[in-house]
Amino acid sequence: MLTRKKKFAQELLSTFSTDLGEVALIPSRGGVFTVTVFYSPSPSPFTSTSTSTGEENGDVKETVIWDRKRDGGFPEVKTLKSLVRNIIDPNRDLGHTDRALRAGTQAQSGTGTESKAEEEKKECEDCR
């Protein structure tokens, strides 16, 4: 399991680099796998620019974006990247990751025009 955790950490660091303050792997027993994001919410556009940011006044939020027991196993890398992006920079385009997620959603809903085999050929190695 540690190898999988390392892969997730490497993927997040390579995708988000300096946008992440830290990626920490905390050893545990019993098959625990939880991804938690700690972040300072962006200041509201309606607040004065002279007010302090969330981080300065201690307003740090914690969100569990994946829990192996709650969510049923391990996430796909593309899903994990998307969940992190949705918190740290929702407007960010993840390129091939977003395209793969959209294709998967269309295939599940039956709205895609390509066959499953054609979709798999287009999917890059990072998305598998």
In a domain? residue 103: no
- The one-letter amino acid code at 105 reads T
- How many alpha carbons fall within 13 Å on the CB side of residue 114? 14
In a domain? residue 106: no
pLDDT confidence of residue 1: 63
pLDDT of 50 above 60 = no
pLDDT category, 49, cuts 50, 70, 90?
very low
The total number of structural domains that make up the chain: 1
CA dihedral 44, 48, 51, 55 (to 10 degrees): 20
**Structural domain for 9, as ranges:** 1-44+51-74
Question: How far is residue 69 from each of residues 25, 38, 52, measured CA to CA in Å?
Answer: 18, 20, 38
Domain with 9 in it: what CATH number?
Answer: 3.40.30
In a domain? residue 11: yes
Of the chain, the percentage scoring pLDDT greater than 90 comes to 35
In a domain? residue 13: yes
In a domain? residue 109: no
Return the residue matching tokens 């990751």.
Answer: 97
pLDDT of 121 above 90 = no
In a domain? residue 18: yes
Residue 61's DSSP bridge partners are 39
In a domain? residue 93: no
- How many alpha carbons fall within 13 Å on the CB side of residue 126? 18
The Cα diameter of the chain in Å comes to: 55
User: Using CA atoms, how far apart are residues 127 and 119, in angstroms rounded to an integer?
Assistant: 11
* Integer Rg of the chain from CA: 17
pLDDT of 32 above 70 = yes
pLDDT category, 93, cuts 50, 70, 90?
confident
